[in-house]
Structure formats: structure tokens, C-alpha cells
A and B are shown apart, each in its own frame.
Chain A
Amino acid sequence: MTRWGMVIDLEKCTGCQACTTACQMENARLPGEMWQDVLFYSEGEYPSGKLSWLPRPCMHCENPSCVAVCPTRATYKTEDGVVLIDWERCIGCKYCMIACPYGVRFYAEEKQKTQPDIRKVFPAKGDKVWDPPYKMPEHMQNPKWGVGIQPKNVVSKCTFCYHRVSQAPKGTVDLNPDDPKLRPYTPACVVTCAPSARYFGDLDNPSSEVRQLIATKRGTRLLDQTGNRPQVYYLAGEAPAIPETRSVRSGRKA
């Protein structure tokens, strides 16, 4: 059985955030609803100050705590290892947002940080949050996967571009965006990543590129102590270490 996973090489990552905008575009997300965020951290003092960054998609955990806490099973794990939200079952209790250690989930029903509120510029008829002209075509949308323009009052998150990945030919081991045949099935962030810092493939196949990279370049997972066992691995190489902290604290009191 295929179990999709991602490897992100931090030594290559330039922190450009093309993954963020590609994801936002492909999935028509709201401003600030960054399914694929890049987090920056600044530490140290001149002349040896340090700037580091970390791209952060959904980890699509092996043991996802969000799935465990969802009282309606709206959040679920697919057979091919992707964590999705069924927008037709989600009750908007937001417990999954509490339980996700990686802060990857979003709830559109909040005050827009970038004003004026774009939802009022492109208002939707009926139950949808908004209706932008650049939305994903209807045939690609699937509320059962949490893909497309979301209904009101549900939680959203990165789907590994399930509308693309799920259509890949059976038995695909590596989704290489440079291969014109496989490119349409590859997640948007992987397709666009200019330094090619992202790899996507089958974690259950020992000869997949992602498995090889994890083995030979010492793939690590974020916050492994949570036991969630992410299916997104980072290669730290000589890059700045993965920021362990969720925020950089400046002493005891901020």
C-alpha cells in the first residue's frame, strides 16, 4: 500500500515562500490561511545574529493526534496515509486545532488579519466562505477531502494536494515534478520549489527516493517526542538546526 510522505531539504531551502503562494493559489486559500507556511526565527546579536527558517506543511502524521480528538471522525487518515478533513462532517469544534502539535490547521471564521476582508469582496452565495474568480475549478473540488472552497464554520488544512496526488497512477513510487507525466499529480509546493528542496513519494516503498534520502541524509521529524510520527521529514544537513522551539523566547518574560 502506498503511504505518501514528503522530505524537505533545509540545506537547499531558501525560505522564499514560493511553496506558500503556490499552495495558496492551487487551493484558493484566504490571505493568512497558510496551509504551507514558512516560519522565520531570528536569534543572536550583531555581528553573529542568526536567521533561520522552516517550511511547515501538515505533517500527515502516522499517529495523528488531530484524528484521535475529532469527535465526529471528520478528520481521518486515508488508506494512502494522508490526513484529511471531511467538510461535510466537521462541526467546527476546533479541538483538532488544539491537538495538532504543529499548528497547521485553520478556521476561516475569524477576523481577517489583512483588511479589508476579502470574503466580502468576493462573497459566496449559500454556504461557502467566499467565491473568488480564481477559485479551483468545480471538478477538482471535493468537500469529503477538504479540497476546494470550504463551507462556513469548518476547519481546513494542507491535504498534500490530494486532488492531485490521489489521481497518480497506481504503483507510483516517486512523484517527480520534473517528469511531465507525473507533474500534474505532484503537490503544488513540490512542483514549484525552485531549489528542489522537496521530495514526495511512497514511504512504504524501501526503494523510494524519500526513503533513500531519509536513510542516507539522516531525515528527522519535527517534535518526535509527541509520538505523532510525522510523514514529513526534514534533512538538516549543514543548514541551521530545525528550530525546536515553537517561538523563540526572549528570557522568561516577553
Chain B
Amino acid sequence: MTATAMDRSPAPLLAYDAKPDPISALLMLLGAAGAGLGLAFVFYALLVDGHAAFNTSSDMAWGSPIAFYLFFLLTSSGLSIVASLDTVFGLRVFHPVAKRCVWMSIVALVAGFSVLALEIGRPFRMLWALPVGMQFHSPMWWMGVFYSLDLALLCAKFWLMHTRRWHAPGTHGLSVLSFVISILAPGTLGLVFGMMAMRPAWYSPIMPMYFILTGFVGALAFVLFFTAVLPNQRRKPNEALFDVLLPRLFFVSLLAVIGMRFGQIVTTLWSNYEGMEAHWLSLDSALFKIEILVGLALPALLTATNGMRANRALVMLAGFAYLIGNFFGRLELLINGQKVPLFKGYWAGYVDYWPSLTEWMLVPAGIGIYLFLYGAGEWLLRLAEAEPRQGRTS
């Protein structure tokens, strides 16, 4: 019971008295550089050419910015789910990463929203038009609702953790709610695509599940990648988690993704349905090859045995490879849905699309924002902090 007092002891909200450790400093520096360069470039291009600076068109309405947005948002939800393994389901073994995951989830959301703000035509109008619109037929409207809630709940949850109120009244309830929203939000995002019967290459009730699962594996990859770069003393107490459980969970979940993706590929290639030929076309594309070889096969191979999974470098590489493949896979998914043009006639052919330089510059911009905020959190927000063991009544 003495721990309770310690537990409730006031902690500095920000660890501003400490100098940033080299890793955090590096992350922040890289982040600031990437965000600075990317944002400056994108802002300039938008100023000069507007959204014509993108290679998107009336035929390929959604391009790489949306893919990138998907990448961040789905990973964010995955991170929230990983945190919930502890905070909701009481799998205490995940406890050491819970707070970090919540922070990473918030940061990923912010990065994703930033990219969206640069992609969408009128982001400021969205702030009032979306709530006023109340178009509950639109999955995108619900997506807005859920992701707004998601961000709010994650922030509240993080605030409670940060102020060491893991067991304050309502904390568990809030965590449960946050978890539910973190399922609903990517699920709705899946519906944004999966409901579109007029885009057969997307149309699938499985899309929400696919989004949630791939986001979850992405979250594990994030955790593996970012904890691998942590200084040893922060990992040491939790070697079992970092070196055994997380890699195994990653591997097993990855197998689930591979199984699901294989099913998708077989189904879509088998179908003669108009619009599905996009999948055949994608077989030749670099995006598909990167998604399958780099994003699925390589990480599965790298983490195939217990021994390999104990090798921190291999695991880190596997996580990184998955994220790369995941990013390009999302782009491929977007293109496939729009590859076969809708009523554009004989001359249109299939819609060709490759991101413009401005679009590519969203990558350093988004990742920069993520790295900077993550690094800042690592430095200032005691991300490794765990709930005192004694705090929990058994």
C-alpha cells in the first residue's frame, strides 16, 4: 500500500529538465528536417499550382496522399489495440509498451490528419461542414466521427496514464471505449472502400477486417522498429516482451495477413467481373511486387524461427520491411480500385498513375511529423513509464 502513495506522487508533466537522450534527439532532428523540407515543398507547390501539383486526376481521384493517410491511420488504430491488450484485456505482459503505444497512436493520427489536410480540397471548410452535414449514410462521415472520438479518447487515455491515474474511476471504462472506437474507426475506413459496389476491386465486406488486421501488424512493426532503436537500459527489464513475445505475435499476425491477402489475390484473379482486371494488371506493377515480396514474404522469412526472432536486427528489419510493403500495398489498393475507368470510353485505356514529386514530398512531411512528435514524447513524456506493479489489486 505504500506504493500507492508513490504511485500518486506528483511527476513532472514534462521531463523538460532532462537533456534529450541521443536517440530522441536524433529522431526529433530527423523529424524536424523531414517535416520542414516536405511541408515547405508541398506548401510551395500548392501555392503555385494548387492540387494540380498532384498527379491525381478526375479519373484517379484518390492517390498516394490517401494511401499515406491510410497507412498512418490504420497503424494508429493498431497501436491503440496493442495498448489495449494491456489496458483493456489485462494482458500485463504488454504493459511496458502500453503508454508508448498510446502516444505513438496519437502521433500517427496527427501525422495522418496532417497529410489529409494537405490532400483534401478545403480542409478548413471540413471542420464545420462535416458536423453540419450529418450525412449518416456516408461511411466517410462516420469515419470523421470515429476518428475524432478516437483522437479525443486516446488523448484522454494518455493524459490519465501520464498523470499516473491508471486506476482512477472511469479509466478502465474510458480504455474500453477507446478500444471500441479504435476498432470502429479503421473498420469504418474499411467500409469507405469496402462498400463501394461500383468499384468492384474494392468491394468486399472483409475490407474492414483487413484494414484492422493489417493496421495491427503495422502497429507491431512500429513497436518492434522503434523499441529496437531504444537504448538497452529501456529494453532490459522487458526482454521477454521485446525479444520473444512481440516478434512471435508479429510473426503469427503476419501469417494471418498473408493468408488473408492470398485469399484476396486468388479471389480477385479468378473473377471475370468488370473492374477486377485491375488486379491482373497490378501483377506486373512494382507496387504489387514490393507489397508481396518486401512487405509480406521478407518479414515472414526474417522472423521464421525462434532464433531469428531473437535477433534484434532481423526483427527490426522485418518490421521495417513490413511497413515499406504496407505503404506501397495501400497505394496499390487505391490504384486498383480506380485503374479501370468508369465510362471514359475507348481512348481512356486503363488509368495510369504514379505520384508526383509533390506527392512524394508528403512522405518526408508525414514521417517527419511522426518522428518529431514521437522523439519529443520519448524525451519529454516518460513513454517507458509503467504502472507500479503494486498498484494493481490482484
Show the binding face of A for B, using Cβ within 8 Å. 33, 37-42, 53-54, 56, 65, 67-74, 89-95, 97-107, 109-112, 117, 152-155, 222-223, 226, 244-249, 252-254
Given contacts A110-B52, A246-B340, A254-B349, contact A69 B133 (CB under 8 A): no
Interface residues on B, range: 35 or more
Q: Is the CB of A65 within 8 A of B344?
A: no
Q: Is the CB of B55 within 8 A of A111?
A: yes
Residues of A within 8 A of B56 (CB): 107, 110
Judge whether B275 is part of the interface by a CB distance below 8 angstroms: yes
Q: Is the CB of A72 within 8 A of B344?
A: no
Residues of B within 8 A of A41 (CB): 345-346
Residues of A within 8 A of B138 (CB): 68-71, 95
Given contacts A56-B343, A98-B196, contact A90 B62 (CB under 8 A): no
A64 to chain B, nearest CB (A): 11
A127 to chain B, nearest CB (A): 10
Residues of B within 8 A of A40 (CB): 345-347
Q: Which of B131-154 contact A (CB under 8 A)?
A: 132-135, 137-141, 144
Judge whether B350 is part of the interface by a CB distance below 8 angstroms: yes
Q: Is the CB of A109 within 8 A of B349?
A: no
CA distance A69 to B140 in the complex (A): 7
Residues of B within 8 A of A65 (CB): 198
Q: Is the CB of B198 within 8 A of A39?
A: no
Residues of A within 8 A of B52 (CB): 109-112, 117
Residues of A within 8 A of B19 (CB): none
Among the listed B61, B132, B199, which residue makes an inter-chain contact with A72, where contact means beta carbons less than 8 Å apart?
Answer: B132
Judge whether B289 is part of the interface by a CB distance below 8 angstroms: no
Q: Which of B342-364 contact A (CB under 8 A)?
A: 342-350
CA distance A92 to B46 in the complex (A): 14
State the majority secondary structure of interface residues on B: loop
Q: Is the CB of A69 within 8 A of B139?
A: yes
Interface-side segment among B23-31, B88-96, B118-126, B301-309: B118-126
- 7 more A-B residue pairs beyond the given contacts A70-B133, A71-B138, A72-B133, with a C-beta to C-beta distance below 8 A: A67-B137, A71-B135, A102-B342, A155-B121, A247-B348, A253-B281, A254-B281
CA distance A95 to B138 in the complex (A): 9
A11 to chain B, nearest CB (A): 19
Show the binding face of B for A, using Cβ within 8 Å. 50-52, 54-59, 61-62, 120-123, 125-126, 129-130, 132-135, 137-141, 144, 192, 196-199, 274-275, 277, 280-281, 284, 337-338, 340-350
B121 to chain A, nearest CB (A): 2
Q: Could you list 22 examples of A-B contacts with CB < 8 Å?
A: A68-B135, A69-B138, A70-B133, A71-B130, A71-B140, A73-B134, A73-B135, A89-B133, A93-B121, A94-B121, A97-B61, A98-B61, A100-B198, A102-B343, A103-B341, A107-B121, A111-B55, A153-B122, A223-B198, A246-B342, A253-B284, A254-B281
CA distance A73 to B134 in the complex (A): 8
CA distance A189 to B111 in the complex (A): 46
Q: Is the CB of A109 within 8 A of B51?
A: yes
B68 to chain A, nearest CB (A): 15
Closest 4 pairs (CB-CB, A-B): A92-B121, A153-B121, A39-B345, A103-B342
Residues of B within 8 A of A38 (CB): 345
Instruction: Please give me the residue from chain B that is nearest to A32 by CB atom.
Output: B58
Q: Is the CB of B277 within 8 A of A249?
A: yes
CA distance A56 to B337 in the complex (A): 21
Residues of A within 8 A of B59 (CB): 103
Instruction: Please give me the residue from chain B that is nearest to A56 by CB atom.
Output: B343
Instruction: Please give me the residue from chain A that is nearest to B55 by CB atom.
Output: A111
CA distance A249 to B346 in the complex (A): 9
B53 to chain A, nearest CB (A): 9
Residues of B within 8 A of A95 (CB): 138, 140, 192
Residues of B within 8 A of A249 (CB): 277
Q: Is the CB of B196 within 8 A of A99?
A: yes
CA distance A196 to B340 in the complex (A): 32
